[in-house]
Structure formats: structure tokens, C-alpha cells
A and B are shown apart, each in its own frame.
Chain A
Amino acid sequence: MAETLNQEKLLSDEDIRRLVVARLKVLSPDTIISFGSDGSFSRDELVEKVQQKDEIGEKMAEIQMEWLRSFNEELV
């Protein structure tokens, strides 16, 4: 069972964080992303938050995973 789960989890949490940081770093410097009452953050602040694994950083990783899962779903 544990082996099956490992096979299903193709990306580790650290892989996902690296992917999110790489994507964030190429955004235009004027980017701001709002996360409701948690605040609005610049590109560089978001990179830090993902690296620090804080709540907003983990949310960015969750959004990334949701996006990757979207490829299994019909968009139109």
C-alpha cells in the first residue's frame, strides 16, 4: 500500500515548492497577488513565503497542485 501511494505521488512537497518558486521568479516585478484578508503580496514577498513554507506559501503550492490536476479535467 505504501509503495502504491509513493508511486502515485509523483512530485514531493519540496519538488512542488521548487516549481512554484521557479514560476514566481519569472513573473513581472510589478505583480501583486491578493489572498483576501491574508493580504496582497509582491512577487519577491511570495518567493520568500514559499521558501519559508508559511501559510501563504503553502497556499501557492496548493494552487499549483490544483492547476496540475486540472489537466485531467475538461476546460471547455
Chain B
Amino acid sequence: MKIIVTLPHYDPATQYISNWAKNVVDFAINRGIDVINLVGDKANRKDFEGRVDKVKPRIVFLNGYGDDDCVLGQDNLILVKKGDNHTVLQGKITYALACSSGAELGPEVAKNNDSAYIGYDDEFCFAGNSKYLSHPIDDPRAKPFMESSNQIMCSLLKGNNCQEACEKSRKIFKEYINRLSSSAADPDSLQDAQLLWWDMKHQVCLGNKRSSIKD
């Protein structure tokens, strides 16, 4: 079983999500899964399409910025766009940790029932502490956001189907929301709970929800 992971990094937000996505990469490698990482400049459309075509991964894990109809790679360049090259994701399970691509790109990819697309239909927001910009993996404020997100991939890699993976992710979101919102004396916690609630509400699971790596 093979997966492709895009890991652009060129500003604080992409540094955060790509660094935290490495936990998923390690998790997959430890389970004997063949991981193809497209890091930094390699997270471009040409390399992405070429590797997907050659490797035929079961799962594609996209990290980066997004919009309603696309997901971006390194340096804000388009990686996958609705109506252009979205068919590159057909027949696969895609998880896009990117803003808004669940609004238009996801539904287009998931139109045929041989594909599944998990993403967000609005902004994916997260909080962090500026002291950790150079080592985001150690930022405790980012942890609830990134762990809730990573749960999708870890569940899929364990063999859960897409619907189950989303349910498990929502469970982690809710655990953190409950924990943080009960810390009423800490304004940071309350703000973070609000952002987590937003992300959880905007997570979408589209297409064949029963798809899994066992198929």
C-alpha cells in the first residue's frame, strides 16, 4: 500500500502543518506503508501528477493552502484544481488539510462513487504561540488542532473507512473542546476551543464514505 503526502513549507502556516504531518508519515512508515513525500519545491503540480500516475497511491494526503476549487502546493502554486486536473484524485481516498477545498473541489472529485474526499468547506483555522515559529512541532497550543486533524490519517492507515476516520477525528476535536472550554479562567483556552469548534463543524466527508485501505 502506498500513500503520497505533500509537504510544502514556505511560511508559518505551512511550516506548522507540514511539520505536524510528519507524525503521520512516521506512523505510516512504522506500519510498513510505502510513503512518498513531496517536500518543499517537490510539492508542485508536475511532480505531484507524475508521482500519482506512477505510484497509484491508495491515499493522498494534501497539506497546504486551499480555496473552494483548489489545493495549493509550494509557494502558493496550484497543485489540484476543479475542472483542470481534479481527475488525478479519482479512485483514491484524499485527505486535504487545506482551507475550503471541501466546498467545490471535494464534491467534484467525489462525484463518482469510486473516490472519497475528506477536507474542510471553509477556513481551517488554528492557534499557535509565536515563540514556537522555528519549532512548531513543540507548540502546545497547536497540538489540539493538529492532533484532531492527524487522527483522520491515522485512522485511515489503521484500516478504518472514511466515515469512521471522520468520527474519530470529531471525537478528538470534542475532547479538546470540552477540556479547553472548561478552563474558563484561561482566555487562550476559550479562544482555542472556539477555533476547534469551527474546524470540526466545517470538516466534510464526501463521496464513498465506506472507502478504506482494505478495498
Contacts and interface: CB of A to CB of B under 8 A. Distances in A.
B198 to A, nearest CB: 5
Interface stretch (B33-41, B87-95, B147-155, B188-196): B188-196
Given A33-B125, A59-B123, A63-B125, A42 B130 contact: yes
Q: How large is the interface on A (under 10, 10 to 19, 20 to 34, 35 or more residues)?
A: 20 to 34
B126 interface: yes
Interface in B21-37: none
Chain B contact-residue range equals 35 or more
Contacts of A70: 197
B178 interface: yes
B195 A63 contact: yes
Contact of A37 (B16, B67, B131, B178): B67
A68 to B, nearest CB: 9
A30 B191 CA distance: 13
A30 B181 CA distance: 20
A34 B191 contact: no
Nearest to B145: A34
Interface string A34-76: 1111111010000000000000000100011011001000011
A75 B174 contact: yes
A33 B12 CA distance: 10
A11 interface: no
B53 to A, nearest CB: 27
A24 B191 CA distance: 8
B207 interface: no
Contact of A32 (B12, B98, B174): B12
Interface of A: 23-24, 26-28, 30-40, 42, 59, 63-64, 66-67, 70, 75-76
28 contacts: A23-B187, A23-B191, A24-B191, A26-B187, A27-B188, A28-B187, A30-B130, A31-B129, A31-B141, A32-B128, A33-B127, A33-B128, A34-B13, A34-B126, A34-B127, A36-B123, A36-B125, A37-B72, A37-B76, A38-B123, A39-B13, A40-B12, A42-B130, A59-B123, A66-B197, A66-B198, A67-B193, A76-B178
Interface of B: 11-13, 16, 65-67, 72, 76, 98-100, 123-131, 133, 141, 174, 177-178, 187-188, 190-191, 193-195, 197-198, 201
